[in-house]
Structure 1
Amino acid sequence: MFLFDAHLDLSMNALEWNRDLTQELNTIREREKNMTDKPDRGLGVVSFPEMRRANIGMCVGTQIARFVKPDSLIPGWNSQAQAWAQTQGQIAWYNAMEEAGEIVQIRDFPALKKHLALWQNAESTENLPIGYILSLEGADSLISLKNLEIAYNYGLRAVGPAHYGPGVYAYGTDADQPLSQKGKDLLKAMDALNIILDATHLCDTAFWEAMEIYTGPVWASHNLTRTIVPHNRQFSDEMIMELVGRKAVIGMAFDAWMMVPGWIRGKSTPQSTGVKIEHIVQHIDHICQLAGNTNHVGIGSDLDGAYGKEQSPGDLESIADLQTIPGLLRKRGYAEKDIEQIMWSNWVDFLERAWS
């Protein structure tokens, strides 16, 4: 089945992890086998060939670069200018991958429809370019609103104002503060440009303020449910219903600690917790039961989002294993149309509304 993955940190893997995503997964892992600088070395699950095996013809590819103050416990760049420069390097990589025929940027709905037809009508997708929509995860790298306009002109179509901890525009996971004036101004500027607001990572206070201020299209590219796994990174039922009311789609993330309760960072493993791909169906079903339909769930895997197999479902060897989801949903009683919605068409329908 065709698959639209709404959150992949492709350029971060290329520039910060120094992974050549054009290579086979085994080649990438072999090159990292003696490296110890990051806990997921040799355990990555994403590459372009593997994405094609997963039939991921469309994705949301991110830029990401955090600004941090001197006392921060979270890694990041020491100035917004450095963070901006990092995102510009990421854009250069996306451009190089386009020139190589690996990917193609999607900026509007006619281009999306054309690309979707290419994949769905092709006899073989082995050598087709993967479509990507450009998103910014955490807005710290935007030195001013002028940078937002520059980014829009090179294709930026979605922005998540926050990531982890304190941010220039909004506080995120494991922090909580009202939106700053800069954050409010950013939302208004995004509204004017019709840039999608990604509600993922917004702290609770900022989430509710953003819902009051922002009138444009809202999605949550990679988020799960607080009822199943209690943590401020997850959405409460009230947040989910707010997003349902906004006709949003919520992408299911495959970071193991978000999927099952009781995960202890640095200690738990997929084997010790028994986390498997099927656990995502619990989160899917919870949202569908709240909404009363399947219109608001998609896939936003966040695979290789600074973790690998050590923090993924135990039965996931590569991103291609996302293709087990349709079978799991059938076992749960989901109809084929509902499964197609979850796997790809909810995102397409959302973008048709957002970009009309």
Structure 2
Amino acid sequence: MANLDNKTLVNLYRKMALIRNFEEVMVNVYWEGKTPVFDIAAGTVPGEMHLAAGQEAAAVGVCTHLRDEDTVTGPHRAHHIALAKGVDIKKMTAEIFGKETGLGHGKGGHMHLFDSEKKFGCSGIIGAGLPVACGAALAAKKLGKDWVAVSFFGDGTANQGSFHESLNLAALWKLPVIFVCEDNAYAISVPKAKSTAIDNNADRAASYGIPGIEVRENDVLAIYEAAGEAIARARRGEGPSLLEVKVDRYLGHFQGDPELYRDKNEVGRLRENDPIKKLGESLEQQGILSSSEREAINNAVAQEVAEAIEFARQSPYPKPEDALKHVFV
């Protein structure tokens, strides 16, 4: 904490608290209308839902360094990344609800969020964001800007061809892109040890002659520090970096996932190392936040989330006659 001012530290806590509250509220909202027998197509939010409770530190630790001009691509589990990049929470929530006021006018849903103002996009296709980030980084380089691109992806994606192709191209062309692997130990239901030949995906960076940095703790301050160095390096024109960060997935791969592949006590153990709780307690111990100020932040983000949910509920659905608007045909 010695290298960070109090405002930044409090901002890190607030952003993570906002994301956690949103994801935990979405758990209950998603289940509306889907019981007593789970019907994925029913309810307030039809379709799949991938939530990121436990992965907040990666998004916030990286995106706090970014500007609106920097591009971020995310995977199918991307609410935390969108909010960390500054995407409007009301528009994002409305999109998740399939409403006209959403980022994509209700036509993309939670896995295909897109915000041109914040230069953020995500995809339900595994590994799809890495080549896009390379394209954005190439554009920045051609324009002579010091903009960077960041691509977030899961540890399972590191076994996809697009991962290796993107790292190779970025290294070859010295592109200002940072590849961020969120290692939550699972590729859907497959443990990392059963899918990946090496322990640390960061080691793969050496094959392309670029830095590979591993952050072994789900700690926003450690991630913030590592990301800051990689982003600064990219802005200086020194090329790409691969950052692998340890995160924890408290919820299933998707809502409705029976999680039979996990030990029933695993999530409880993971929550003992909750990065939001750890940072909040540390800020209190150092006198940066009082307990009442911390409670006020938690109440404020809860109100912000509640207002976003209500905005989405009250927003209209797209009109049937607008089905072919804003889409490629």
TM-score (norm 2): 0.33
More helix by share: 2
TM-score (norm 1): 0.31
